[in-house]
Chains A and B, each alone.
Chain A
Amino acid sequence: MSDNILEIKNLTKTYPGVVALDNVNMNIKRGEVHAIVGENGAGKSTLIKSITGAVEPDHGVIRFDGKDYRHLDPKLSAEIGIGVIYQEFNLVPALSVAENIFLGNYSGNGVTVDFKEMNREAAEAMKKIGVRIPPQKTVYELAVGHQQIVEIMRSLVKDIKLLIMDEPTAPLTTKEVEQLMKIINSLREQGITIIYISHRLEEVFQLADRVSVMRDGEYITTMDVAETNMQELIRYMVGRELQGQFPPREKPVGEEVLRVEGLTGNGVRDISFTLHRGEIFGFAGLLGCGRTETMQLLYGAVKKTGGTVFLNGEEVDIKNTSTALQKGLGLIPEDRKRHGLFLPMTIKWNTSIGCIKKKLLKWGVIVDTKKERDLALEYKSKLKTKAPGIEQTVSNLSGGNQQKVVVSKVLATDAEIMIFDEPTRGIDVGAKQEMYNLIRKLVSEGKSVLLVSSEMEEVLGLSDRIAVLCEGRMMGILEREEFDQERILTLASGFTKEKKGA
């Protein structure tokens, strides 16, 4: 089997509560461009990190170039010829292109660096793949696309055999993407194997020889790109049926509580929608499509540059988060540890911090500790937060229970419209189900919910309507009768019927 440069055998990696990789087997042929696709959380990133040694798998063997490795580490994987381009670049912005390319092994006599020689070598190496960036140029002056090329060059000068690219086109402009495609093709001609991770399926069809699908940490299948099509690929990616996690719910007929018209700023443009009392309004789209950004605008966390927002029929100007809070908006942020919680503080402290000024004071300034305690206890039992007591430090709680504390904090402010941004990210299956039940309970009590989620089944199962975003724009709003995973994925990848024709 020497025509396989990389064989992954029985690779398993579990995190507490999550199986990130479940007995994955995959073969990569020498010299091919091999795409790996899957929804968010399918395990692609963990797989890559196992190959580069950034994470250590629980079981399994990685056979690279005819040799078995059980434990790779980043240094070893670089030595045996595996290069990787992560989404975030590891460049030194203040150094020149050539210095970055040869970082750590400069040409010269051991004391001084021969910059002339280094620049020449860098230029030559770049010429090989058909790019021309002045080697003396400082990296921070370069556009993102060129920075990425420097990053690629850095791997290339080390004689790599396999280059892994994790979502390389995510930060690039259309023109830069074209250039990257050319580079990848020229690398293939030089016999370098490429593993290419992307959410953009069109790229897979343009570029890859074969494509593997992952889902929920499992390897699903590998196909020749020539023998498959977009529909089949999406079907494999989506795969599963909804498993009774989401019992049917009456469609709410409450009055309109929120109307957004032409919301613009923060990387999104012209977002319009309405939200009714008791409704769950979902936002779907690929990573970076502007869902979180829309929520930030709405909540006043980032200033909008255009558009109007109406709450209960009245135009409101939400300049900052305190206004948002007063107007009855609440945000459960995407990154709970960074934006949602005060980790070293107790459950009680975290629960009350948002509403202290509003309803926990006596004599206008002093915190009424009894009221505060009652409030914390009330929400702890209402949300069934599992912890020994409300004096427990939240950093010691599990992800699911931490999330409940965040929700408690927002509920305690008496928010009427609750924005859930990725409410189940990084929490285990049981806690997810609890979160779903909680959201449904909240809307049945008359709250209204905006739900951002990258988990397709979550959006589909919970929402009454779904807006699909792509690159900061609204691609469409689907009613429940129109819900269809493939349709959402198609919209989210930027394919509209009009576009397809063009």
Chain B
Amino acid sequence: MNKFLLYWKKFGMFALLAVLIAAFSLASPDRFFSSTTFFNILKQASVIGVLSCGVTLLLIMGEIDISIGARVAFTTIICGKLLNAGVPVWIVVLVGVAIGALTGALNSFLAQVLRTYVFVVSMAAMYMWTGVCYLINGAVTLYGFPQSFQNISQSMIFGKIPSIILIFTVCAIVSGFILAKTYFGRHIYAIGGNREAAYLAGIDVKKNTLLTHMLAGAFIGLAAIILMSRTMTAQSGTGGSYAFDCITACVLGGVLLGGGHGKMYQAMLGVLVLNVLFNGLTLIGVNDYWQTVIKGLILIMAIGIEALQRHAKVDFSDDGGGDIDKPETAGELQAQAEASA
């Protein structure tokens, strides 16, 4: 079992992706494995993909933010209003990214001030931003954005590559680079891996947490922009299940809930696998309701495998012994609590 988990961790997602592509190609040989389908899948994956860049940063830092969908909606409504008011496209893009970053900062700030989890704060933020969207724009769909805005996602770069795919790729590379190569990335792993140890190692945990939420937020803002540019509409009801779609993809890819583990490429693989799967299911004619059921099953599977890995990890790492003084330490803590009370 442990061996299986080890291999799964290393190659599982690649294998799954290959198997899915092969299976769907066989099931529908004429339609599935073409470059058009390939690009279509990547295009469809782009929004969730860019969002997942941010979500992965947060998951590795040990935090879950479920307000993502609502913040995407809020960003699209504001940006849509601005576009319709004739504000230049590049400013709107910057505003979109800034809204993402600031709403992220707000979540983190509130969680720190209230000394609670971002998860809880983000739940409140989810309701709040959704409500604000409807207050601003009701249930009306905004449309009629300038052509140049559409070009952001729907033009071809070098005549061949859709720009949306390029944006997605750049985001994945940049976020992956930050995570793997910069000291900031190290600090994210450190905070997710062992918050207390990170603090005692001299890392400014509060500041880094806030910055990570802002960075993740920037990806969320950008995702909202490309979503708008792709559909050329903005709606208050957008993005309902985005948070969970992203978490599902990341966890499926091998980013552990709880923090400290995972790599950007794993999350991206998770995004691709899910997209290939649902594209394929649609192509072979599985209905939408069944697809939703399957999504749920996949999340359970992903979490199950993750849990197995985590438990296996505990078993591997427990070197036993050396801790005979534990109860006395606990007593000491208690005495300390007593002394300060």
Chain A residues packing against B (C-beta within 8 Å): 15-18, 20, 40-41, 45-46, 86-88, 144, 166-167, 170-171, 266-268, 287-288, 290, 292-293, 299, 301, 320-322, 324-326, 331, 333-335, 338-345, 349, 352-354, 356-357, 360-361, 365-367, 393, 395-399, 409, 413, 425-428, 471-472
Contact = CB atoms under 8 A, between A and B. Distances in A.
13 contacts: A88-B330, A88-B331, A287-B331, A288-B332, A292-B332, A292-B336, A299-B200, A338-B196, A343-B193, A353-B198, A354-B202, A357-B183, A396-B319
Interface stretch (B104-112, B234-242, B320-328): B320-328
A365 B211 CA distance: 14
B339 A288 contact: yes
Contacts of A471: 339
Given A88-B334, A409-B201, A16 B322 contact: yes
B182 interface: yes
Interface of B: 181-184, 186-187, 189-190, 193-194, 196-204, 260-261, 313, 316-325, 327-332, 334-336, 338-340
A409 to B, nearest CB: 7
Given A15-B322, A144-B338, A343-B317, A353 B184 contact: no
Contacts of B334: 87-88, 170-171, 288
Contacts of B197: 333, 338-342
B62 to A, nearest CB: 12
Contacts of A40: 325, 328
A86 B327 contact: yes
B260 to A, nearest CB: 7
A425 B325 contact: yes
A353 B201 contact: yes
A393 B317 contact: yes
B324 A267 contact: no
Contacts of B200: 299, 301, 321, 331, 333, 339-340
A45 B325 CA distance: 8
Contacts of A357: 183
Contacts of B316: 395-396
A365 B183 contact: yes
A342 B321 contact: no
B28 to A, nearest CB: 42
B192 to A, nearest CB: 10
A171 B320 CA distance: 29
B330 A365 contact: no
Contact of B317 (A333, A344, A356, A426): A344
A425 B324 CA distance: 9
Nearest to B197: A339
B186 A322 contact: no
A16 B202 contact: no
B181 A339 contact: no
Contacts of A15: 320-324
Nearest to B339: A267
Contacts of B204: 320, 322
Contacts of B332: 287-288, 292
A325 B198 CA distance: 12
Decide if the interface of chain A is mainly helix, strand, loop or mixed. Answer: loop
Contact of A45 (B260, B327, B340): B327
A258 to B, nearest CB: 18
Contacts of B203: 321-322, 353-354
A254 to B, nearest CB: 25
A333 B340 CA distance: 20
Contacts of B182: 365-367
Given A287-B331, A397-B319, A426-B325, 12 more contacts: A17-B321, A167-B331, A266-B340, A288-B332, A288-B335, A365-B184, A396-B319, A398-B319, A399-B321, A409-B201, A426-B321, A428-B322
A20 B204 CA distance: 40
Nearest to A86: B327
A110 B340 CA distance: 44
A474 to B, nearest CB: 15
Given A341-B194, A367-B181, A353 B186 contact: yes
Contact of B183 (A170, A171, A361, A395): A361
Contacts of B320: 15-16
Contacts of A18: 321-322, 324
A16 B327 CA distance: 18
Nearest to B186: A356
A76 B324 CA distance: 23
A343 B316 CA distance: 11
| Most chain A CB neighbours (cut-off 10 Å) among B183, B190, B318, B319 | B183
Contacts of B321: 15-18, 399, 426
Contacts of A343: 193-194, 317
A354 B187 CA distance: 9
B264 to A, nearest CB: 15
B199 A301 contact: yes
Nearest 7 CB-CB pairings of A with B = A288-B335, A395-B317, A325-B202, A267-B339, A16-B321, A87-B331, A426-B322
A148 to B, nearest CB: 11
Nearest to A403: B322
B328 A287 contact: yes
Contacts of B201: 321, 325, 353-354, 409
Given A338-B197, A353-B190, A398-B319, A170 B335 contact: yes
B322 A427 contact: yes
B166 to A, nearest CB: 23
Nearest to A268: B339
A87 B336 CA distance: 13
B281 to A, nearest CB: 36
| Most chain B CB neighbours (cut-off 10 Å) among A17, A41, A367, A428 | A367
| Most chain A CB neighbours (cut-off 10 Å) among B183, B189, B199, B202 | B202
B260 A342 contact: yes
| Most chain A CB neighbours (cut-off 10 Å) among B190, B200, B332, B338 | B200
Contact of B202 (A41, A324, A360, A361): A324
| Most chain B CB neighbours (cut-off 10 Å) among A326, A338, A397 | A338
Contacts of B331: 87-88, 166-167, 170, 287-288
A398 B328 CA distance: 21
B210 to A, nearest CB: 14
B205 to A, nearest CB: 9
B316 to A, nearest CB: 7
| Most chain A CB neighbours (cut-off 10 Å) among B316, B323, B336 | B336
B308 to A, nearest CB: 16
Nearest to A54: B327
A344 B325 contact: no
A16 B324 CA distance: 10
B324 A20 contact: yes
A344 B324 CA distance: 22
Contact of A342 (B190, B328, B335): B190
